[in-house]
Amino acid sequence: MLGAGIGKLSTWRTWLVVLEAAFGLKLTSNELVTFYEIAGGREPPRQRVRELWVAAGRRSGKSRVPGALATYFALIAGGREHLAVGEEGFVLVLAPSRDQAKLVHRYAKGFIDASPMLKNEVLSETADQIGLSPLEAGCAVNAAVAR
């Protein structure tokens, strides 16, 4: 569902391997080669990681990936079963600057807008928040600045 917002998938190969490994998914032999190249010979995690640290250069997707992840957790991954009736869940994206927070927010909005199915879940939008249907998602994507 996020593919429409990603564009050419082959250019995201390394990020996809990083994310698959971070979620504890089994990697193919080709993905393992990529993982070992970027992970300094470490073995891939056997389960979802609690933290992911990535050293990446400019224009490598460091803001776009959190936008995709925020969208995924808010609209696709679920978690609704953990919310009480009337409770609103939040996917909080922290960034070191206001500009970066806005950028991640725009990427999340872009992923949602690129999918007709996800776009239907948007109820409201402000400069800092995308309000989503409580029946389907029960979440909002918030961009916040860490101070």
Q: Where do the structural domains in the chain lie, given as residue ranges?
A: 1-59, 63-147
Q: In this structure, what token pair is assigned to residue 145?
A: 């600045």
Distance, in Å, from the CA atom of 126 to the CA atom of 130, rounded to the nearest integer, reads 6
Residue 79 has pLDDT above 60, yes or no: yes
pTM: 0.80
- In this predicted model, what pLDDT tens digit does every residue of 22-75 receive, in sequence order? 999 999 999 999 999 999 889 999 999 999 998 888 888 888 999 999 888 888
Consecutive H or E run containing 95: strand 89-95
Distance of CA 29 to the CA centre of its chain: 25
Distance, in Å, from the CA atom of 20 to the CA atom of 34, rounded to the nearest integer, reads 12
Name every residue whose Cβ is closer than 8 Å to that of residue 54 and which is 6 or more positions away in sequence. 18, 62
DSSP 17: H
